[in-house]
Structure 1
């Protein structure tokens, strides 16, 4: 499963390489790699298996299971990869110095991440939020350019 996870990550990070992190990218990702796509279904199944097998979301704090799976490298076109498992909870506020690309994989039918259902959510460089899952449980895969994230006290 880990090999499949890495292959799926390489596919998406290659597609993201050099692209501006904006609404256009979000729309493109949802159209080409969204919930109806084979890629999305394979990634969600792989992430669910990784959580069950214990190699994803190994750590826990404040009701959130999480873990950095891949550090930024040439293989991932400079993106780090984190996966979190959240169930009706808000995470710590943070800033995205270089942006953030999130894949939302609901485990409960009505689960929403920052108000969005299954699919992609793109945050541009300099944006900030308190990641929140409501209406059930969801896995969220975070792609961070250069692995950059700044946690705040807000």
Structure 2
């Protein structure tokens, strides 16, 4: 939903599962430097996938999907995401898959390919709840990364 910054009044529904069928229980969201909205989406059922959706920042139209899991597999979902060094999207993973829970993935927003930035076998073991990342050059008010 969108609200007016001046009046705090409801403006409209920017995106919903009626306009973006894969949008389910959105939690984390962040805008990229082009103004596109990236939003986490939990799977709707066992045949669906956990993912991050890239939406047009003006229209709410689906532009792309970053799939985090396989259908019918163990869960690997994200709740909080952030852009950071190198223009990468950083995605902390939680869920019930011991191979991925606790890792932080660094994802290329152009190719939609991800690699573990903090693997589950990091020194000291996997992170327990790797949410709400921030980098030294992140603006705490907007979470925009300052190069």
More helix by share: 1
Q: Which has the higher contact order (CA 8 A, sep 6+)?
A: 1
Q: Larger radius of gyration, structure 1 or 2?
A: 2
TM-score for both structures, normalised by structure 1: 0.26
More strand by share: 1
TM-score for both structures, normalised by structure 2: 0.26
